[in-house]
A = this chain, B = another copy of it.
C-alpha cells in the first residue's frame, strides 16, 4: 500500500510499504478514508536531518475498521471511527482520569512499528481504548471535515481553553492563527468567553477566526502586541490565554498578556527546553499548563456539537488532496498558502 514518508526537511515522498496487519490481539487495522497534515508535521518538515529509513507521517484519521484482533470488542469490521492522534489502552489510571495522552501504553502513530495515517491504511494498537465509533456513514461528506478535527485540532484547541480556565463572561486571547488556534477560538466561544482576542496576521485565518467568534484581532508582535491586548482588556490582560504555537516568542507573549491570576493553556509543542518569563509569570501569579491534548477523552463532549452543527471546526480545511498531493500539501501549509490540508487517500 502507499504511505507518506519524510526523508529530510522539505523531502516528503509517497512510497509503497507493507500492508498493515493484526500483530497484537488488541489491534485493529484501519482503512483510512480521511487524514490530514498537522501544524506539528511542519516542525520536522522545517528541520529534519536526512534519514535513510525515513519517518512515516500522519496522526489524524477517520477510517473504516477492516480487521480486529481477538481481544477487541468495542469496534468491529465495517465501523466508521475517528482515530485520536495518540493511542491509549482505555483502562489505566490515566485513561480513567481523562488524560489518555499519559496512558501507561501511550504511543504515537508513525512510530513504534506503526505507520502514520497519511496512508491508505494503518495498524491501530489498543483499538478498544483508542478508536471512537462515529454515528454517521462513510459518505457523509458534509460532516467529515469537522469530525476529522476530533482526531486532533478541535480537541487540542479545546484542551488549551480548558487548561486556560476559559470562563463565561471573561476575556480569552488566542496566540496563533493556525488550525489549532482557530479551533481554540471555537472552544473559547463554546465555553462562554465574552471577549476573544485572536493574535495573528494572515487575512484568511483572521476572517475565519471572526466567523468562529473572535471579537478582536491583534496583528502586532512583541511589546506592541502585549500593549494592545492590555488596552483591549481594561489594562490588565486576558483571564485565559491559549498558546497554540510553541515558540519562545509566542510563549513570552502568552505569559505577558495574561491577567494577574490568569492562566495560559499551552498546546503548541514547545521548541525550547526552558520557558521564558518565569519571573513575570510568578510575580503575576499566572498559571502555565497544558500539553498533548487528551483528545480521546474530549470526543464525548465535542461530538454532539459537531453533529448538530453548533460548531464547524472542519472549516479549517481549505484544501483537499489525494495521497499524491500530500508533498505539495506540506509545501502549501509551510508557506501559509493553506491553513490545513485534508487527505483523501
Inter-chain contacts of A283 with B (CB < 8 A):
291-292
Inter-chain contacts of A274 with B (CB < 8 A):
274-278
On A, residues with C-beta under 8 Å from B are 93-94, 97, 99, 101-102, 163, 236, 251, 260-261, 263, 266, 269-270, 272-279, 281-292, 294
Closest approach, in angstroms, between the C-beta of A119 and any C-beta of chain B? 25
Inter-chain contacts of A269 with B (CB < 8 A):
282
Inter-chain contacts of A291 with B (CB < 8 A):
281-286
A273 to B278, CA, bound (A): 6
Question: Across the interface, do B163 and A284 meet the contact criterion of CB distance under 8 Å?
Answer: no
Closest approach, in angstroms, between the C-beta of A164 and any C-beta of chain B? 11
A sample of 24 cross-chain residue pairs with beta-carbon separation below 8 angstroms, ordered by A number, consists of A94-B260, A97-B261, A99-B260, A99-B261, A99-B285, A102-B260, A251-B278, A263-B289, A266-B282, A270-B278, A270-B279, A272-B278, A272-B279, A273-B278, A274-B275, A274-B276, A275-B278, A283-B291, A285-B290, A285-B291, A285-B294, A286-B289, A286-B291, A287-B290
Closest approach, in angstroms, between the C-beta of A101 and any C-beta of chain B? 7
Number of copies: 2
A262 to B260, CA, bound (A): 22
Inter-chain contacts of A290 with B (CB < 8 A):
282, 285, 287
A177 to B263, CA, bound (A): 28
Closest approach, in angstroms, between the C-beta of A273 and any C-beta of chain B? 6
Closest approach, in angstroms, between the C-beta of A145 and any C-beta of chain B? 27
A289 to B93, CA, bound (A): 24
A282 to B289, CA, bound (A): 7
Question: Across the interface, do A287 and B163 meet the contact criterion of CB distance under 8 Å?
Answer: yes
Chain B residue with the shortest CB-CB distance to A287: B289
Question: Across the interface, do B287 and A292 meet the contact criterion of CB distance under 8 Å?
Answer: no
A97 to B261, CA, bound (A): 9
Closest approach, in angstroms, between the C-beta of A261 and any C-beta of chain B? 4
Inter-chain contacts of A279 with B (CB < 8 A):
270, 272-273
Inter-chain contacts of A277 with B (CB < 8 A):
273-274
5 nearest CB pairs, A to B = A287-B289, A102-B260, A285-B291, A275-B278, A274-B274
